[in-house]
Amino acid sequence: MLLVEDDAAIAGSLGEALREEGLEVATAQNGREALQALRGGLRPSVILLDLMMPVMDGWDFRHEQLRDPALRDIPVVVVTATGFSPDTIRAQFGNVDLLPKPVPFTELLALLGRGRSAGSSAA
């Protein structure tokens, strides 16, 4: 999994919780850093993407991801505290799952197919 989040506290706590569930988690502080990691060969099973970030926000990241044939099929879960409607986000992002901040952890695990009783293979 690639966690793209500029808030160090959120990235740290969420990343740690996901690792405790047996997931492999790479992190990036913004969309540009995430694209560099992906273009450098990182192939996560899913991208957990914040929308509002400095340098390159989630909107621009997703645009670039969709333009790149090697990256466009990596699933994305959008996590945001902003008040954008799901319809607005999906109109620009395509078929993505959406979660609010603070992230409802059990809902995130369910989206990842990782309910608390699930086995623990790395994703």
pLDDT tens digits along 38-97 = 999 999 999 999 998 999 999 999 999 999 999 999 999 999 877 777 888 888 888 888
Tabulate helix, strand, coil % of the chain (nearest 5). 40, 15, 45
What CATH number is given for 2-111 in this structure? 3.40.50.2300
Confidence class for position 118, pLDDT limits 50, 70, 90? very low
Q: What is the mean pLDDT of residues 101-106?
A: 90
Burial of 37 (0-12, 13-18, 19+ CB in 10 A): middle
Q: What is the mean pLDDT of residues 97-120?
A: 76
- This prediction has a pTM of 0.87
